[in-house]
Amino acid sequence: MKCFQYIAGLFIMAFIAAVLVAPVPAAAGDAAKLDRDVNTGLNLLYAKTPSAKVLGEKAKGILVFPGITKGGFIVGGQYGEGSLIQNGKTVAYYNSVAVSYGLQVGVQKYGYALFFMTDAAMQWLDRSDGWELGTGPSIVVVDAGAAGALTTTTAKSDIYAFFFNQRGLMAGIGLQGTKVTKIDKK
């Protein structure tokens, strides 16, 4: 019985924490704020990972999600909104949603950026009505160690993913099963 009470207590604490830090989907008037957050996040990534900046200069488009909130206790979820940047300008808005299950507990905030290196990858994003990451073009998740050796000469994949600004306590971070969908934010 004590074990059940302990687990129930953890679940309640995780739920309360998730409610307190969960993002509220931005209203249409918040597009300017999202653009500022995207630019701040991208500049933070570039400052900490110079190879991301090099890829950014060659990318056909960069999809940046500056504030993903992830939380869970056995069943988890994550949500965030971002902007697609082409030629230095926002051209579209997207959300990133995932649901997971398994051995997990905690709450975490982070950002990630997807660098689309080919026209085919950009076309896939445009054609898909909600894109589940892990299907379609190949994505390479770049960690801190690999980022140092990455150059535009060695970068041969369609899409590169970089994580940045991680905060919170939750084991693991990944993109598999995440759905990216275009949203209207005029």
Instruction: Pick the more confident residue, 115 or 71.
Output: 115
pLDDT at 162 over 70: yes
- 88-92 average pLDDT score: 94
Question: How many domains does the structure of the chain reveal?
Answer: 1
Q: Are 51 and 147 in contact, with CB atoms under 8 Å apart?
A: yes
Q: Name the DSSP class of 176.
A: T
pLDDT in tens, 25-83: 444 458 999 999 999 999 999 999 998 999 999 999 999 999 999 888 888 888 999 99
3-state secondary structure of 23: coil
* Tokens encoding 4: 């059940």
Read off the pTM. Answer: 0.76
Q: Are 110 and 167 in contact, with CB atoms under 8 Å apart?
A: yes
pLDDT at 135: 61
Q: What is the dihedral of CA 118, 120, 122, 128, to 10 degrees?
A: -150
Instruction: Pick the more confident residue, 95 or 133.
Output: 95
Phi/psi class of residue 145: alpha, beta or left (left: φ > 0; alpha: ψ in -120 to 50)?
Answer: alpha
Q: Are 157 and 55 in contact, with CB atoms under 8 Å apart?
A: no
3-state secondary structure of 53: helix
pLDDT at 167: 84
pLDDT at 13 over 80: no
Instruction: Pick the more confident residue, 91 or 154.
Output: 91
C-alpha 5: how far from its chain's center? 34
Residue 9 and residue 4: Cα distance in Å, rounded? 8
- 147-160 average pLDDT score: 59
Residue 169 and residue 109: Cα distance in Å, rounded? 9
Q: Are 147 and 95 in contact, with CB atoms under 8 Å apart?
A: no
pLDDT at 170: 65
Confidence class for position 175, pLDDT limits 50, 70, 90: low
pLDDT in tens, 96-108: 998 887 777 788 8
- What burial class does residue 133 get, using C-beta atoms within 10 Å of its C-beta: 0-12 exposed, 13-18 middle, 19+ buried? buried
Residue 116 and residue 6: Cα distance in Å, rounded? 45
What is the residue range of 87's domain? Answer: 2-183
Task: State the sign of the Cα–Cα–Cα–Cα dihedral 85, 87, 90, 94.
Answer: negative
- Tokens 């598999």 — which residue? 176
- 166-178 average pLDDT score: 67
